[in-house]
């Protein structure tokens, strides 16, 4: 039986429509995700592309960076668990609530400039050099930056990219 609890989530990277991991949002085997609309953070955050895999990261450094454009979804408990697994919450990413403006709803109507609280996956305890990378406002894997997302599960080196990724990105306590 489907869960009745819905969680509002803001995605800014590879989970957005047209991006490499969007299938996670549309696959109903592990819960449901309903597209609410395009959104934009109400505060600036550093969104960077980092690691040899060119992964987009939202860094926990509110006030730096830019207003970030992404997508808002309502997800059930099962889908939230799937997202937590994908993002390795709480071991790799943290999940916090931030205010987000709805820019356009699912019917392409413009939002009403009210903000909603959304869960977002955010990187804490990151290496300081990440704050020296260019800050993005709107991620696209095939953007002008030329840094296409490249985790390939069929490639032997990518069998467990999180091991290498943690050493490259995270500040170990």
Say which of 87, 144, 157, 171 is annotated catalytic.
87
CA angle (65 as vertex; 74, 57 as ends), nearest 5: 55
Do residues 111 and 105 touch, judged by C-beta distance below 8 A? yes
DSSP class per residue in 111-157: --S-EEEEEEEEB-SB-GGGGGSPPBSB--TTSTT-------TTSGG
From the list 57, 43, 44, the residue with the least C-alpha distance to 92 is 57
Q: Is 87 a catalytic residue?
A: yes
Do residues 82 and 14 touch, judged by C-beta distance below 8 A? no
Q: Helix or strand or coil: residue 24?
A: helix
DSSP class per residue in 41-95: EEEEE-EEEETTTTEEEEBS-TTSSEEEEEEEEEEEHHHHHHHHHHTTTTTS-EE
Active site amino acids:
87
């Amino acid at each position: 039986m489907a869960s009745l609890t819905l969680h509002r989530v803001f995605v800014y990277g590879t989970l957005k429509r047209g991006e490499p991991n969007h299938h996670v949002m549309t696959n109903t085997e592990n819960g449901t995700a309903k597209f609410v609309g395009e959104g934009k953070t109400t505060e600036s955050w550093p969104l960077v592309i980092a690691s040899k895999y060119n992964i987009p990261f939202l860094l926990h450094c509110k006030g730096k960076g830019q207003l970030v454009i992404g997508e808002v979804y309502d997800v059930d408990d099962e889908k939230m668990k799937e997202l937590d697994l994908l993002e390795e919450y709480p071991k790799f990413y943290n999940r916090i609530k931030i205010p987000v403006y709805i820019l356009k709803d699912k019917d392409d109507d413009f939002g009403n400039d009210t903000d909603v609280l959304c869960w977002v996956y955010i990187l804490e305890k990151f290496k300081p050099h990440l704050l020296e990378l260019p800050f993005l406002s709107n991620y696209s894997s095939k953007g002008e930056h030329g840094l296409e997302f490249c985790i390939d599960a069929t490639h032997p080196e990518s069998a467990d990219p999180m091991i290498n990724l943690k050493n490259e990105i995270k500040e170990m306590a």
